[in-house]
A and B are shown apart, each in its own frame.
Chain A
Amino acid sequence: MKPRISSPYLLFTIMTLLAIGWFWSHPKPAALLPIIASPVAPALESPLSPLSPVNLIYPATNATPVDLPADQQVIDERIAGLNELAMKEDADSLNMILVSLTDRNPQIRAAALEATVQFDRPEAIPALQDALALEAALSEKVNLQNAIDYLKLPSFSQNLVAQP
């Protein structure tokens, strides 16, 4: 039996392939950029150690905030996750905290700021300055500036290293 290729199916296949090719060869829609080019993803693939300045791994851009989680439980889980990350020492953890500094939800922003302070590394200061430049609310500006000032302080624990 002679195989038959229906011309509408062939046309559809060619059009689909052309559409895929066009998508990958053209600039991505802005809404997809935060997903495709997440500032966290490259850092996760190539962890930096010791810590590099955050602006190297977290460019001075602000990803489009994700939609607000409707459920308070989801927010609480994210906050608990930020608290856990705050106790780590690696660049990936810091990067994940800093991404949340510009979250749309104020509770998560506040938790991210607290986690940044608890992480206690001056490498976070450029990201805090970026967040400060974008912030409109005066009270949050004050909190961000206070965090920047705090991270500039030397650690008290260095005294213990100096003294046997």
Chain B
Amino acid sequence: MKMHLKLSSLVLLTGLSLISSQGAQTNLVQNLAFKLTAWSQGKTTTNGSTVTVKANSQSIVTKDVLTWLGVATTNNFATSQLLVINRLGVPGSISRMVVRTKIGNITNNVDVSAFFGIIANAPTVNSYSYSLANNTINPVNYYGYFGVYLLENPSCLLLPVFFGLNGFGVDSVINVLSTKKVIVGQAEQFSVTNAVGIGHMNGQPFIITGNVSITGNTLETHP
């Protein structure tokens, strides 16, 4: 049975409970990026005895997803960023997908976690090493068959486009260093490349392909 988990579950799956931390008030801020292509049936034209049928391919980038999330939440997310925020040093904390808008010195975060889902469709194949002596773990790579979803949200039915993608992905766990070169936690660098799936726009289906990534290891103080 395909088990749908939120990104938070993926975080647990990949062992962020191994976090070691100096302080419990630090956030790990990462960039969530979409680079997709939507394939849909184009127009059919007839010129004399020649009938031409065209397939449309169109780009979907993070800005498009932000625009749709803005429609769904009745916000203007132009020039905003789509981020994944994890609290370091808090075992079991939930990853949050956030749209961050900066206007002057004011930063506004809107939680859009409910619109996203990331699952492991099958057990991952893992590559890592650890020391039996001091119970420390070295950088980890999880290889797997992942699904990434921009979900319809029952409490927010205005999302004009939603989709699901499945494909091979790599989840690499790296150490995050403080300015004093001390390990304050671990960050997952997640990417699914050449994924394929189905999307819907205003009820019309389309094929969707492309890449999704969660990258970066920016630290900021938890507000």
Contacts and interface: CB of A to CB of B under 8 A. Distances in A.
Partners in one complex: yes
A125 to B, nearest CB: 13
A32 interface: no
A156 B160 CA distance: 12
Contacts of B202: 160, 163
A41 interface: no
A83 B37 contact: no
Contacts, number: 70
23 contacts: A73-B179, A76-B217, A76-B218, A80-B216, A83-B33, A83-B81, A84-B81, A86-B62, A87-B63, A87-B81, A89-B79, A114-B35, A153-B58, A154-B56, A155-B58, A155-B59, A155-B60, A155-B64, A156-B38, A156-B59, A157-B60, A159-B58, A160-B160
A158 interface: yes
Given A76-B217, A118-B35, A88 B79 contact: yes
Interface in A71-123: 73, 76-77, 79-80, 83-84, 86-89, 114, 117-118, 120
Contacts of A157: 60, 64, 67
B61 interface: yes
Contacts of B67: 157
A156 B179 contact: no
Nearest to B38: A156
B38 A87 contact: no
A150 interface: yes
B177 interface: yes
Given A83-B81, A87-B80, 19 more contacts: A77-B218, A80-B218, A83-B31, A87-B62, A87-B81, A89-B79, A118-B35, A118-B62, A150-B35, A150-B59, A153-B57, A155-B58, A155-B64, A157-B60, A157-B67, A158-B58, A159-B58, A160-B161, A160-B201
B78 interface: yes
Interface of B: 31, 33, 35, 37-38, 56-64, 66-67, 78-81, 160-161, 177, 179, 201-202, 216-218
